[in-house]
Amino acid sequence: MSVVRVVRTGTANLASVVAGLKRVDAEPVLCADPDLLAKADRVVLPGVGALAAAMETLRGGLGDALSARVRAGRPTLAVCLGLQLLLEGSDESPGVPGLGVVAGHAHKFTGVGLRVPHLGWNRVEPDADCRLLRPGHAYFAHSFYLAEAPTGWAAARTTHGRAYVSAFERGPVLACQFHPELSGAWGLDLLRRWLEA
């Protein structure tokens, strides 16, 4: 059974992430210790809530440990707000920097008649060079999005008013705007592929 350290951001719905990991026979362990995150075989950065509040928790040791993992290409999964925390910043919290380990900025969905937040099921279409991501439908709950794929990362896209990046991957590092743990059999298969990566 794979032990997976799940970061305590203070804003995440940890119950769904923990339950999803258990469904794929992983052993989730909640963690707020930077040293344990640095040494862990696998880490999940979950997220629900505001970027500024999550960054208050991550500033310093936790954020440094996460950034080092991503830069080193060590198995790390970022979910929903977790994806946006990896970026340089977000319209949600002007002036509050993200971890900045992945180039990009999250923008707010806008448009006449466009439902915000983007809530519910939608199609995920990965690029041909994606190894972990497969075409399918995932569950989303977000108001901010990444417009362009970061350089050096394979990406998947989804359309809600416009096409945007719904996930990106490089080696065993995977960031999903959607919630794989809430995305039925398709999402659980994605978690299994990440665990095996």
Positions annotated as catalytic residues are 80, 179, 181
The single residue listed with the structure tokens 């946006």 is 84
Distance between CA atoms of residues 156 and 147, nearest Å: 11
Is 27:191 a contact under the CB 8 Å cutoff? Answer: no
Distance between CA atoms of residues 30 and 43, nearest Å: 10
CA angle (11 as vertex; 37, 195 as ends), nearest 5 = 40
Distance between CA atoms of residues 130 and 149, nearest Å: 12
Of residues 192, 162, 158, the one with CA closest to residue 174:
192
Distance between CA atoms of residues 141 and 121, nearest Å: 9
Beta partners for residue 154, in sequence order: 169
Kindly report the three-state secondary structure assignment for every residue of 110-128: CCCCCCCCEEEEEEEEECC
